[in-house]
Amino acid sequence: MRLLQECCPEAEIAWAMTGTGVDIVGARVAVERVWDLWEIGRRRHGETGWWPYVTSASPGGEAVYQDKRGCDTAEWERSVTEVVLQDHDARAASVVVSNFRWSTTGLPFDDEDFLGWRDEYDPDRLAPLLRPAVVGPMLGVPRWATDRGESRAGMRWVNFVTARGGYELPVLLPYLYANPNWFGHGSRCLTPLDDAALLRRWQEQWGAELFFATGPYLELVVDRPPLVPQGAAQAAIELFAYCGDTVQDAVSAGNGMARSTMWSLWWD
């Protein structure tokens, strides 16, 4: 709270705690200020231990919503422990495999159709279909975090949660983004640990950090997006498997979003 008072002396500052004991501290600021405040919070994360994220909910609103949806405390505690210990690369790969199986099981594919689908899930097959390496990343622009049309009175909350990184937030706050009835992934019902595995992998591989999360929306700031076809193909496949509502074509994603400094995802 001292950090927020120092950075935003004019802002409304609030604190709340969820029923599982997660503290949330936040400042309500104009959309023009969210980027700077988030960056300050990210730079000082090593000092404070608090990870920032932009959202439409106040700390109190977030806590009430989390508690209203409810959770199994024992399962939540197990997930909080497992998110540190799990093999996130293996779990992320399993999400891709499960999506491929879920997408193709029971469909009347002939061999040619099946091979076409397989190309979108195999980076070695997808990479040759992408454009050559680029010199620098595409400049990404936030779609929702700074959208005045989606922000009442042009304001957003920048909330902070004690976490090792943004990848832990889906476990600490299981209903932070996407519809809690299906976690934003259709009938496959991925869990918060799946979310955390992919977010951690993306953070380590490409410097992707959780930036904005609310409802069905998620945005990541990407410091080192893949610029060569092989890396872009891998990122595109994982984005395609994770959020087919937004990433509906792996080739387009490999040439576009995967090489951008902002990944904006939305679940229908």
pLDDT digit string (tens) for 57-88?
999 999 999 999 888 899 999 999 999 999 99
Based on the number of CB atoms within 10 Å of its own CB, is 112 exposed (0-12), middle (13-18) or buried (19 or more)?
exposed
pLDDT band, very low/low/confident/very high, at 182 (cuts 50, 70, 90) = very low
Under the banding of pLDDT at 50, 70 and 90, the label for residue 109 is: low
- pTM score, whole prediction: 0.91
Tell me how crowded residue 111 is: count the other CB atoms within 10 A of its CB: 7
Order the strands of the 23-30 sheet from edge to edge: 12-17, 23-30, 155-162, 50-55, 208-214, 217-222, 262-266
Eight-state DSSP code of residue 216: T
Q: Other CB atoms closer than 10 Å to residue 81's CB: what's the count?
A: 11
Q: Which amino acid is at 42?
A: R
Can you point out the beta strands (E) in the chain?
12-17, 23-30, 50-55, 155-162, 208-214, 217-222, 262-266
- The whole-angstrom separation of Cα 235 and Cα 231 is 6
Encode pLDDT of 224-235 as tens digits: 999 999 999 999
Cα 216 from Cα 236, distance rounded (Å) = 20
Tens of pLDDT along 117-162?
677 788 999 999 999 999 999 999 898 898 877 677 789 999 999 9
- Please name which of 202, 240, 230 lies closest in space to residue 133, comparing C-alpha atoms: 230
Neighbour-count burial of 166, counting CB atoms closer than 10 A to its CB (0-12 exposed, 13-18 middle, 19+ buried): buried
Q: Distances from the Cα of 36 to the Cαs of 158, 192, 240, 262, in angstroms?
A: 10, 28, 30, 16
